[in-house]
Amino acid sequence: MNKTDIQAMPAGLAGAGAGGTARPKVTTFATELGRIAAIGLFFAVCLFLFRSDPFILNMMAYTFLFAALSTSWNIIGGFGGQFSLGHGVFFAIGAYTTANLYFHWQVSPWLSLIPGMILASIVAVAVSWPTFRLKGPFFAIATLALNEVAFVLATYFDSVTGGPRGMLLPFKAGLVNMVFTSRLPYAIIMVGFLLISLVVAAYVLRGRLGYYLQAVHLDEDAARAAGIDVLKVKLTGMAISAALTGIGGALFAMYLRFVDPPTVLNIQDIGVKFLLIALIGGVGTLYGPLLGALLIIPLESYLRATLGGTIPGINLLILGGLLVLFALFMRRGIFGALQGAWERYRGARS
Amino acid sequence: MSISLTVRNLHAGYGQASVIEGIDFDAAAGEIVAVVGANGAGKTTLLNTIAGVNPAREGTIRLGDLDITRMAAHELPARGLALVPEGGRLFPFMTVRENLEMGGFSQRGSARFSEMLDEVMELFPILRQRQKQWAGSLSGGERQMCAIARAVMGQPQLIMLDEPSVGLSPKLVHQVFELVRELARKKGLTIVLVEQNVSEALGVSDRAYVLDHGAIVRSAPSSELSGDPAIQSAYMGL
């Protein structure tokens, strides 16, 4: 193999330093648990401070939700290097499963998270089985097509999805129904979801599966030669990622209390958003997606609130511009840039 | 511990093209066997077919008493067969140590994991020094050693090396081949190596096959081949 251009690598992997020849010490799962707990504590304080500001709470709920979704996408998309643009489908499955069970049979959304996860995983494995034969951009395009197919199907089968009219979920406030009058409980639920996805991602990354996924990402043939069942590893990563994405869809459905194809199967607002956030934050790193969401989602809702009325679509324009800037100057995302700065600082001190 | 490899009437190719046409090939337990030949003779295809990377169209491949003709590539390390692909194919953004660990993750390797790690570091002292470095930052020779060490981590009985000399200076080529010989002797492994560098390959191996246009045209003890004027003029530039 030729000398690999370290800068060309979109963000690092695992510990992800990649600046020099020495690699930063790889942390253990226990260390990451501590860090995740600290993050949770910090967000709890934020929620407490803004507990009576509905605008900020709404923004935080969305930020945490998308941070979690992007973290989930990152398991297969970042660690495993399989650039899925079809995660919107798993998101929609979670949303529709929960919405249907709640709407028709009044099943508590807390319970319907489980069938939603399972269904999302099954569909993910079923559609990934053939698409994983494709590599790189071909895989990405195939998964993009998946999202479009799902859109048409969801519009057509209106007995399950309510078709183009969508499903409006009845407002019956209560913890069991996951319906609240205030935005605070939603924001708390989203933080919970974020912490869960971070823990799962850390567990995967620091375990055997994480190494397998990274090996598959770096060189599939070499992974095979090392005795790794490449297809099985990809499918496992995809199933875990899709299950978490399904949870996100369910929470989104209960927060909005409305599900229709243009909302949940929207390519630019859902399907591509997960990887956009991960790319900007630092794809393949544990905390990159979180950093990306902390930047993108508040920025977007601010733009929508201030300029959305006068210049519709300005948020997309600015997001696109940001992505170009990151692709040009911060190939390893915010996380990579921060890590580089930290290493330079430490290098300068020693 | 070593194991024999028996290939009978093997056919393989890609799409319309038939690359290997009816090869019979043996490696006895503990033997170092070289397969030499020019570019495009089918050497890599032969190894990849044995390793399960591409499918055999006809014929049988046996590892000891086990028929491995239809086994997938990832199943073979667990059976004791390891492939060191051309150029080493390390995982560039993992450390040297992590690369070695990847080799030892298989069921077979994990039994004596830390012991093996010590052992390969003993065999390849340079890797101990480099263990915390990115594998992508290694030099060509170190990379090849790391790839071989990664294969050894899986505790194989037979190692197949695809062009270990590629991209190395003549001095390094010699060094890598010496290490291969030492490895085979110390661990009693069977080695199958495919090479364009005919003189080095014949120097290290017990027996060799000459492959030309997908068929075996000669097979003899290496010492005999390296003294053969026809081989010398065709492959060794003498």
Write the pLDDT tens digit of every residue in B89-133.
899 888 999 899 888 876 655 667 788 888 888 888 889 999 888
pLDDT at A6: 36
Domain boundaries, chain B: 5-85+157-235
pLDDT at A2: 38
Q: ipTM score of the complex?
A: 0.79
Say yes or no: A215 contacts chain B, CB-CB below 8 A. yes
Amino acid occupying residue A167? M
Say yes or no: B113 contacts chain A, CB-CB below 8 A. no
Q: Which residues of B touch A215 (CB under 8 A)?
A: 91, 94, 102
Subunit contact A208:B105, Cβ cutoff 8 A: yes
Specify whether domain B5-85+157-235 bears CATH 3.40.50.300.
yes
Amino acid occupying residue B41? A
Which chain A residue's Cα is nearest to B79?
A227
* Integer Cα distance of A300 and A298 in angstroms: 5
- The one-digit pLDDT tens for each residue of chain A (350 residues) are 333 333 333 333 433 334 444 455 567 899 999 999 999 999 999 999 999 999 999 999 999 999 999 999 999 999 999 999 999 999 999 999 999 999 999 999 999 999 999 999 999 999 999 999 888 889 989 999 999 999 999 999 988 888 888 899 988 888 988 999 899 999 999 999 999 999 999 999 998 899 999 999 998 888 988 889 999 999 999 999 999 999 999 999 999 999 999 989 988 888 889 999 999 999 999 999 999 999 999 998 888 888 767 777 777 788 888 888 888 888 888 998 888 888 888 877 76
* Integer Cα distance of A150 and A154 in angstroms: 6
Q: Which fold has domain A18-349?
A: ABC transporter involved in vitamin B12 uptake, BtuC (1.10.3470)
Q: Provide the token pair at A8.
A: 């060309």
Q: Count A/B contacts: CB-CB distance under 8 Å.
A: 98
pLDDT band at B170 (very low <50, low <70, confident <90, very high): confident
Q: Provide the token pair at B29.
A: 């337990």
* Integer Cα distance of A283 and A288 in angstroms: 6
pLDDT at A17: 38
Q: Which residues of B touch A226 (CB under 8 A)?
A: 77, 102-103, 105-106, 150, 154
Subunit contact A225:B93, Cβ cutoff 8 A: no
Across chain B, which distance is largest between two alpha carbons, in Å? Answer: 49
pLDDT at A25: 59
Residue of A22, A212, A219 with shortest CB distance to B132? A22
Subunit contact B91:A222, Cβ cutoff 8 A: yes
pLDDT more than 90, % of chain B: 45
* Integer Cα distance of A203 and A213 in angstroms: 13
Give the global pTM: 0.85
Residue of B78, B93, B132 with shortest CB distance to A18? B93
Is A284 in contact with A74 (CB distance < 8 Å)? yes
* Integer Cα distance of B198 and B193 in angstroms: 11
- In which region does residue B161 sit, left (phi positive, over 0), alpha (psi from -120 to 50) or beta (all else)? beta
Chain B from 154 to 213: CB within 8 A of any A CB: 154
Residue of A14, A211, A229 with shortest CB distance to B74? A229
Subunit contact B72:A229, Cβ cutoff 8 A: yes
pLDDT at A5: 36
Say yes or no: B111 contacts chain A, CB-CB below 8 A. no
Q: Provide the token pair at B222.
A: 């290496």
pLDDT band at B12 (very low <50, low <70, confident <90, very high): very high
Which chain B residue's Cα is nearest to A15?
B94
Stretch B195-200: mean pLDDT: 89
Stretch B200-211: mean pLDDT: 93
Q: Which residues of A touch B83 (CB under 8 A)?
A: 225
pLDDT band at B238 (very low <50, low <70, confident <90, very high): low
Give the helix/strand (H/E) hosting B61. strand B58-63
pLDDT at B66: 93
